[in-house]
């Protein structure tokens, strides 16, 4: 299973023609305790770079952008009651939403794990 990353710290994991999307462990650690997640509507169409959802922490509210284009097929409803799952398991149970990929080639523009780790190290 391959996970790819954006410079804005979103991750994408493909499952067939769908992509599962969330924020990286680095991003959740920078946000601090997450207290609310506003997810996109199922069925909405997102273009790469569109604002997809909002994560609120005790520090600030942060927009999360679509790392790839597609139709939202599912959202992680567990986050409504337990937004802290993003802090506890950002690349697992803390996933945000899924999209049916409309432009699979956009995945090629994202960073692989080693590249992302290097990028985060440069940020200090």
Each of the 124 residues of the chain gets a pLDDT tens digit; together they read: 689 999 999 999 999 999 999 999 999 999 999 999 999 999 999 999 999 999 999 999 999 999 999 999 999 999 999 999 999 999 999 999 999 999 999 999 999 999 999 999 999 8
**Domain 3-100 -> CATH class:** mainly beta
* Residue-range domain boundaries for the chain: 3-100
In degrees, rounded to 5, the angle at the alpha carbon of residue 31 between the alpha carbons of residues 10 and 37 is 70
Asked if 3 and 20 touch (Cβ cutoff 8 Å), the reply is no
Sign of CA dihedral 50, 46, 2, 63: positive
Find the distance separating the first CA and the last CA of the chain, reported in whole Å.
Answer: 28
3-state DSSP assignment of residue 3: strand
For position 2, what pLDDT does the model report? 85
């Amino acid at each position: 299973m391959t996970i790819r990353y954006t410079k804005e710290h979103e991750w994408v994991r493909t499952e067939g023609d769908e992509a599962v999307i969330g924020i990286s462990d680095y991003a959740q650690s920078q946000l601090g305790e997450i207290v609310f997640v506003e997810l996109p509507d199922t069925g909405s169409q997102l273009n790469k770079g569109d604002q997809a959802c909002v994560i609120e922490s005790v520090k600030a509210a942060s927009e999360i952008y679509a790392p790839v284009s597609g139709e939202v097929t599912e959202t992680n409803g567990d986050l409504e009651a337990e937004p802290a799952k993003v802090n506890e398991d950002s690349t697992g149970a803390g996933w945000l939403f899924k999209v049916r990929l409309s432009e699979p080639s956009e995945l090629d523009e994202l960073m692989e794990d080693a590249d992302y780790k290097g990028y985060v190290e440069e940020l200090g």
